[in-house]
Structures are given as C-alpha cells and as structure tokens.
Amino acid sequence: MNKFAKGKRYKELTNNSIAEEYIKSLEQLYTDIVSVPMFEDDDVMLDDWGVSFFHKESQTEIAWTVIVCMMNFINQTGHIVSPVIKNTDFKFYAEVQEKLCLGESVEMAKDDIGLPFLLGLEEDEYDF
C-alpha cells in the first residue's frame, strides 16, 4: 500500500477557509462531469476544466477520480469540508472520509431508489 493511501486518524478535524475553497472547486468539477447527459457515445469536452470523455463509463470513472481526490485531501489534511458541500452525492463521500479520519465506524447502505446513506444517522441529517 502506498503511503498516501493509508488512513490517518485525527482527534478532531479542523476548519480551513482555503480547504473549503479547494473543495468547492472539486465539487464544481464533479458536478460538471456528472451533469452531462450521456445517452449515446458522444465526445464531451468540459472547456472550463480541460476534461473530455466519450463513454458513460469514462464519465463515471472520471467522476469517481474526483471523489477519490477529495477523500484523499481530507485524509491528508484533517480538514472538515462537508458543511460547505451542496452536491449530496459528493457530500456523502466527504462525510464518510471525515468519519473514517475520526476513527468512527462507517456503515453504508442504499435506499429503495439507490441513494446511498450512512447507517445510524437520522434521516433529517441528509438532504435526499
């Protein structure tokens, strides 16, 4: 396992305005990627980001890469960023990583329509 993939534990996560701005830019990139309708294979170029893809599978993999970057950022810095994230899918993974960094147990599930949620949390804690 490479040194960047190892989970870190923190007593508490810290707020940082620069981290929040960085996460907002990753969130916008993620949102731009997943919001492109891909009904047929078609060249997609997100000019603002210099990101292009052709297949739905590539779109999904690029979106997942952005999620992994965000989770690794939280792991490496120990900053809490989920409160500033508006995209519920992206926020979900930030909350998972924040809990892992605090050494908390994380159990995930999907509801009847396939939306992910963390077990043990009240429903009103999510925007779904």
Q: Which tens digit of pLDDT belongs to each residue from 21-60?
A: 999 999 999 999 999 887 666 788 888 888 888 888 888 9
Provide the domain limits for residue 67. Answer: 17-125
Residue 116 placed within a domain: yes
pLDDT at 128 over 50: no
Residue 55: partners with Cβ closer than 8 Å, 6 or more residues away: 38, 41
Task: Compute the distance between CA of residue 94 and CA of residue 88 in angstroms, rounded to an integer.
Answer: 10
In degrees rounded to 5, what are phi and psi of residue 54?
A: -120, -35
Comparing 117 with 23, the larger pLDDT belongs to 23
Overall pTM > 0.75 = yes
Task: Compute the distance between CA of residue 37 and CA of residue 117 in angstroms, rounded to an integer.
Answer: 24
Residue keyed to tokens 């994230």: 85
pLDDT at 87 over 50: yes
Count of domains observed in the chain:
1
In degrees rounded to 5, what are phi and psi of residue 4?
A: -80, -20
